[in-house]
Every structure is written in C-alpha cells, then in structure tokens.
Amino acid sequence: MKKLNLFVLALLAIVAAAPAAFAQEAEAAAASGHSSGALTYMALGCVVGLGLAAYGGGIGMGNAISGALSAMARNPGIYQRLFPSMLIGLAMIESLVIYTLVVVLLLLYANPIH
C-alpha cells in the first residue's frame, strides 16, 4: 500500500509540474497553428503513455522470468524447451514497448512542441 501511495503521489507531482515544464510562448504557439495547451497535453500524454507501456512491459517481463525460473527449478530437464520460448515471449513483450516509443516519436515529430 505504501508503494501505491508513493506512485500516486509521484504521478500527481508530474501532472502538476508538466504545464510549467512544457510552457511555451504565445507567439510560437500562434505561428505553429496550435494552442499551447493542446501541445502541452499531447506531450504529457506521450510521456505518460510511454511510461505506462514501460511499466507494463517491466511487470510482464518480471512475471514471465519468474514463472520460467520457478518451472526450471521444479524440473531442470525442461530448460532446453522452456528457455527459447521464454526468450521469444520476452522479445514480444519488449516489442510492445518499442511500438509505443515509435508512436510517441511519430506524434512528437508530426506536431513539434517548439
């Protein structure tokens, strides 16, 4: 429960500080044709989305490795069949995080903040 409270507090601090971190002059926002608020929320959404993807990927990878290690501890003879399957699963989990990074980079380059 203590970790959850700390996570929520950190998330609220990030959300509260994001508009100041992504502050933009009115002239630059008018020149780009976007309002500064829309760019701020897009950047914040990209950062939070990528953070959630990395968090979920880390949890999934931890669970996969934990399950594989406990299976290998119970039956060491299964290593030859289990290890390649675990690596393929880890690569697929990591690819989801990389896809999220690609989408975030596309969004940021399509609508630059500056």
- Cα distance between residue 49 and residue 43, in whole Å: 10
* pLDDT of amino acid 88: 93
Whichever domain contains 56, its CATH number is 1.20.20.10
Mean confidence (pLDDT) of the chain = 80
Collapsing DSSP to helix, strand or coil, 98 comes out as helix
- How many domains, the chain? 1
For 3-19, how does the pLDDT look when each residue is reduced to its tens digit (9 = 90+)? 777 777 777 767 666 66
What range defines the domain where residue 18 resides? 2-110
For 26-61, how does the pLDDT look when each residue is reduced to its tens digit (9 = 90+)? 455 555 555 566 677 887 888 888 888 899 999 999
Q: What's the whole-model pTM score?
A: 0.61
- Cα distance between residue 114 and residue 1, in whole Å: 40
